[in-house]
Every structure is written in structure tokens, then in C-alpha cells.
């Protein structure tokens, strides 16, 4: 049966990710990997399910994966996120010839 959501939406069960990555310890290792999380935020790709999402937050996870974390994992993810600083830089090529206000 084909879903109406299309190919861009995929539900990922974290229990399957835990089994594939040998348990909870590896998920915690992913959450503490600052370089991987920073790249995930920059590329808008969830660090756990590796899907490109517009809703990747400061923890480096999409909303679905974040909500499925255990309380211990959420605490670690939130602690690591407190050290992240996300900057948004907006530019417009039409502003090139004008003065900054």
C-alpha cells in the first residue's frame, strides 16, 4: 500500500536505529559528537535518521527523532545543545550597491 506522504517522508523507529547501532550507548555517543551535530545542523540533516529536514534543531535531530529519545538521551541532547550557537545570515544580492543602514 502506497502512502500519500510520498518519498520525502519516512518514519524512522529509534528502536531499529538502536539495534543497528548496538544500543543506547551509541546514540549517546552520537549526541555527544559535536562535529557531527554541527554538520547536521548546518546541512539540515538529522544526525540519527540521516534524513534532510527543515526542522533540525540545536540538538542536531529532527523533531520526530528528538521526541522519541529516552529521558536520559533527551537530557544529554539538551545539555550538549546549550553549548551550540546558531547564526542565521540573510543576504540579498540587490543590496550590493546600497549603503548598510
DSSP type of residue 79: H
Whether 7 maps to a domain, the answer reads no
What is the pLDDT at residue 86? 75
Alpha-carbon distance 65 to 59, whole Å?
A: 10
Question: In terms of residue numbers, what domain contains 85?
Answer: 14-95
What per-residue confidence (pLDDT) applies to 85?
Answer: 81
Domain assignment present for residue 32? The answer is yes
Residue 63 in domain? yes
Kindly state whether residue 64 falls inside one of the protein's structural domains. Answer: yes
pLDDT in single tens digits along all 101 residues of the chain: 455 555 556 666 777 666 655 555 688 889 998 899 989 988 989 998 888 888 888 899 999 999 999 999 999 999 998 888 877 777 777 766 666 55
In a domain, 39, yes or no: yes
**CB neighbour class for 38 (10 Å; exposed up to 12, middle 13-18, buried from 19):** middle
What pLDDT does 72 receive? 92
C-alpha 68/C-alpha 53 separation (Å) is 16
Distance CA(69)–CA(24), nearest Å, equals 10
Q: Are 83 and 37 in contact (CB under 8 A)?
A: no
1 in any annotated domain: no
Q: How many angstroms separate the CA atoms of 31 and 48, rounded?
A: 9
Is 20 a domain residue?
yes
- pLDDT given at position 1: 45
Q: What is the pTM of this model?
A: 0.61
| Domain tally, the chain | 1
Amino acid at each position: 500500500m502506497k502512502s500519500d506522504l510520498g518519498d520525502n517522508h519516512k518514519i524512522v523507529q529509534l528502536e531499529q536505529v538502536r539495534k543497528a547501532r548496538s544500543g543506547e550507548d551509541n546514540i549517546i555517543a552520537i549526541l555527544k559528537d559535536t562535529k557531527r551535530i554541527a554538520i547536521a545542523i548546518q546541512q539540515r540533516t538529522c544526525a540519527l535518521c540521516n534524513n534532510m529536514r527543515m526542522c533540525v534543531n540545536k540538538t542536531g535531530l529532527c523533531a520526530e527523532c528528538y521526541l522519541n529519545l529516552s529521558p536520559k538521551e533527551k537530557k544529554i541532547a539538551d545539555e550538549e545543545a546549550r553549548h551550540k550557537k546558531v547564526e542565521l545570515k540573510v543576504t540579498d544580492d540587490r543590496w550590493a550597491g546600497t549603503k548598510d543602514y
